Amino acid sequence: MEKAGPFVKALFDLDFRKFVTPSIIKIVYILIMLLLIVSYLAFVIASFRANGAFGFVVLILIGPLFCLIYLVLARAGLESLLAQIRTAENTAELVRLAGGTPPSDQGSFQINPIPPTGPSAPRASGTPGPGATGNQPPAGPNSGNGPETPPNPYKQ
């Protein structure tokens, strides 16, 4: 039995680790172009049957403009989709190279990062760190002589 190609493997990947879209995006774009051509010809024929002058306007002006705009929008949408997929693939590769676990392998729980330690880490107490001077900025907006500002209910 022959080995399945990468397209078939990606198509039946139930974990969605491989993307099918990059391999079929050219086919989708060609199908969009063919559908535009067929719809353009059908619209031109229908407009010529309705009125000869209207058919000529559709043939020369409206039809090509419609096809061009639709083709540009379809191309932009497909490029955006492909850019998102490539970003996901590159991010997964960077996580793999960094020795981390990809988000899909972590499970449904949140992993809290280890707090930094050393001289550059912020201090939890109110004492200044090494090399700090006594010139500290005011503690907050209410430390001056101005009117007190109400607390922000959204700040935690």
In angstroms, the Cα distances linking 71 to 30, 55, 83, 92 are: 10, 22, 18, 32
Q: Specify the pTM.
A: 0.57
Instruction: State the pLDDT at residue 125.
Output: 58
Q: Could you list the residue range(s) of the whole structural domain that residue 32 is in?
A: 24-105
* Residue 19 domain-assigned (yes or no): no
* Residue 10 domain-assigned (yes or no): no
| Residue percentage of the chain with pLDDT more than 70 | 65
| Residue percentage of the chain with pLDDT more than 90 | 43
* Residue 39 domain-assigned (yes or no): yes
* Residue 143 domain-assigned (yes or no): no
- Summarised one tens digit per residue, pLDDT across range 22-52 is 889 999 999 999 999 999 999 999 999 999 9
* Residue 88 domain-assigned (yes or no): yes
Total count of domains within the chain: 1
Asked if residues 119 and 130 have their Cβ atoms less than 8 Å apart, the reply is: yes
* Residue 54 domain-assigned (yes or no): yes
Closest CA to 25 of 76, 92, 91, 68: 76
* Residue 32 domain-assigned (yes or no): yes
